Structures are given as structure tokens and as C-alpha cells.
Structure 1
């Protein structure tokens, strides 16, 4: 049983600093998993071994040169992964996160919530989630984003509580389904979504980054959806979508 009791409430302007910090931490924590996943790909392993061997030969049987050449390759892969998430962070800061009050709270179809915990007698924001209402030809649906839980408060059921808040909001607003896009290195997030009945309906490698960065980082973007209301007979939902990290 978690020693913390969480309360979820609507975002306030006074939360901006901590929310931005959570956003940044939540995005950049995926760089290392993406890097290790990319480096473990057989193609990258082969390139790393080839480059290291070339360094060994060119350096006159120098193990140091072999290590140096291999490190340069690894550094390039890390840089590509970092740039992809850096670009995502920059785009969100100039889009919906530029004005949370206007983009979320002033639109009844949108919502932005934070989770608080009592830490040493003080209330502290330790998580967040947002939903933006979208219109489609077959009705309205919700698009979830910014699902973040501060590291010390994970595995304490807070992610599930935030997910239920987003789903309840969509039900109240009559959204037919809730969608979310997630990058392939986010294993814990994907597991949580699947636990709540989300199913993957598409994937794409377009990260809005340089084409070579995307190819080297090998980050795929997954589109997941959860049906909330079944539509009337004769109406369908297009569950396939080309997605980008935006």
C-alpha cells in the first residue's frame, strides 16, 4: 500500500513552474532508453564493431583507437535520440503548453490536471495529465498528452488514477474514444495504456526530426486508442492514422 495519498485537481497558473519541470523531466528521461534500444539493434551493433575494428587497424593495433572510434558512433546515436526529444519539447512549448489556461482550461472540451501528494506536511505536485477534445467526421474524441508521474511517486497507482481522470472526463464530454501517441522506448507507459484497454492501431517513424536522425535513432511512434462509446450502427471510426511526434 502506498504511504502517499494523492489528490487530483485542475491546473492552476501557480503550477506552471513545476508542470514545466515535470514536462521536461518526463520527456528527456526517454533519451537513454531510446539510445540503448537503438544501440542494441543488430545493424547498429554491426556498424559499431566495424568502426571499432577500423580504429584498431588504423591505430596500429590500438585498443584505445578502437574504443575511441566505437565511442564516436555511440555518441552520434545518442545525439540523434536527444535531438528528437529536444525537438518534441520545443514544439510543445510553442504550441499547447505556451498558454495552458487558454488552450485547456478555457475550452470545455479540454482539460489539464495535476496530482498532489502530501510530502513532509507540504502539498507537492507530483504528476499531471491533459486531454484535448478533437472533432472528426464521426463525432468528437479526446487526445491525451503529458501523462507524467515524478519518479519517486511511480509504482504507487498514481498513473492509473490519472488515466481514470482522463477517461472520466472523456465520458462526461461524450467523447467517443480516447487516443494517445507514444514513442516506442516508453515501455512503462505502453504497459499502462494496454492495461486500460488501449490497442495499437498504427505506427510511424516520422518524428519531425532530420530524416537521418530518425533512421539512426530507430524511434517509432505508436498510435493507441481506447473506445469509450460504441457508435450507432452504420457509423465507423477510422482507427488508422499517420502520426508524428508533435
Structure 2
């Protein structure tokens, strides 16, 4: 059992009885990025310029009305917030209706996949405070090199040749952060990939997830690509200005 500053926790495999708390933890962990993404987007010079222009238009059209200037500016801010929320909520709903709809079947019944939780002793009771998942891929030739990022899994042939694994759902409850929980979960995922003989572990991190990116860098992950494609429509992604970074670690 890991321990830091009298905080004790252990990493174990997911159990079906963890379903409700894991789903809640995942929802909160994804949606908490909406506000950081919103503030980051609104601080972009382009959005600042548009907000000021729209506010000025409201001021003039309202007959030197400060209230209408504020109203127009708030409408623009509301649109940006909607775009940020749409991206993260869309991703969350997509995963809840795909791989997380049946964790037992999608992860635990496949020897190349894994799903673990961090269980802590909280006031004498065991509580799930974090989680991580790995979905492996084996293949050969051209088919084996295709990767389906949207579902976090692989497509194509399934020859017994070690290739990639994807780490997803790295979430730690807010009160239990900075206590090595995230580090131990990441270490468990890396160790699993070594045990299974995978050559590389990859994950996608959105630009507001600075803590997650820093954690991965500590474990030797490096940024290999960046794009702005998300589950949302292109205009939503463009307004939200969220970049997705691909990070990789050679095993």
C-alpha cells in the first residue's frame, strides 16, 4: 500500500461494484476542464478583440448604454463557454456509451486491456479516489498500423506482434491530488504494458490539462503531435481553441 503524509491507498483492478463511483469520478474529472478551457480561450487575443468589438457595438446601438455593452460582451463569452462545454461533454458521453458502458467486457475480459482504480482509506472506509485504463493493440502490416483514437482501441488484423497501447481515463478526485495517486496509477499502466510486451504507450491530453501533461512527462512521455480535432463540430473546436496533444512513451 502506497503512503504519503499518512494518506494510504492501493491500486487494484476494477470490480463491477465500482461502476457507479467510477462513472461519477469520470464525469467530474472530464467536466472540470470546461472552466480552464473557457478562461484560456477567452484570454486569446482574437477573442479579446471580438469581445471588445461586440461590446462597443452594443454600447453604440444601445445609445451609449453600458448595460447593452455588457450584454453583448456576455453573449460572446456565453458562446465560447458553450463551445468548451460541448467538447468535453461530447467526449464524456461518447466514452460512457462505448468502452465505459461495459468495463468488464471491454477491459477485464481482454488480456491486452486493463482498468484499475486507486482505493484509499478515508475515515476508516475504503473509497475509490482515482482510476486509469489501458487498451492494447496487436496487429501486423498496414492494417496493424491503423489506430482508432475515437474509441481508444485498434482496428485491423490481430497478429501476436507487440505494438501500441493507449492509456485513457486518468482521473484522480480533487481532494486526493498531489498525494502520488496519479503517479501510482500511471506506473501501474506502464508496468502492465511492459508485462504484455507492448512497444509503445500513447495518450491524448487536451491543452487545459497541464497537470496531466506534467505527470506524463515525469514518466518519460514526449509530445509527438498536436491537433485541434475533437468530437465536436469544427466551428465549435475552432472557437474553443482547444488543442489535443499526442504523448508517447517507448516501453
Specify the alignment match of 1:61 in structure 2.
64
Q: Within the alignment, does 1:107 sit opposite 2:125 as a pair?
A: no
Identify which of 116, 132, 137 aligns with 2:135: 132
Q: How far 1:4 moved relative to its partner? A: 1.1
Count of residue pairs brought into register by the alignment = 228
Matched, 1:198 2:201: no
CA contact (8 A) 2:117 2:128 kept: yes
Whole-Å Cα distance in 2 between the matches of residues 90 and 21 of structure 1? 12
Helix, strand or coil: the match of 2:132?
Answer: strand
2:162 touches 2:197 (CA, 8 Å); kept in 1? no
Per the normalisation by structure 2, the TM-score is 0.89
2:228, 2:241 within 8 Å by CA — same for their partners in 1? yes
Structure 1: 5+ residue runs without aligned partners?
A: 229-246
- 2:149 maps to which residue? none
C-alpha distance in 2 between matches for 1:57 and 1:35: 27
1:157 to 2:180 alignment: yes
Question: Unmatched 5+ residue regions in structure 2?
Answer: 139-143, 146-160
RMSD of aligned Cα (Å) = 1.0
CA deviations over 1:24-64 (Å, ceiling 9, x no partner): 00100000010001000000000000001111111111111
Please say which of residues 39-48 and 128-137 is displaced more in the overlay. Answer: 128-137
**1:3 and 1:131 mapped to 2: Cα distance?**
29
How do residues 27-106 of structure 1 correspond to structure 2 at under 5 angstroms? Answer: 27-106=30-109
**TM norm structure 1:** 0.91
State which drifts further: 128-137 or 168-177: 128-137
Tell me how far apart the structure 2 counterparts of residues 88 and 208 of structure 1 sit (CA, whole Å): 6
Residues of 2 paired with 1:95 and 1:222: CA distance? 22
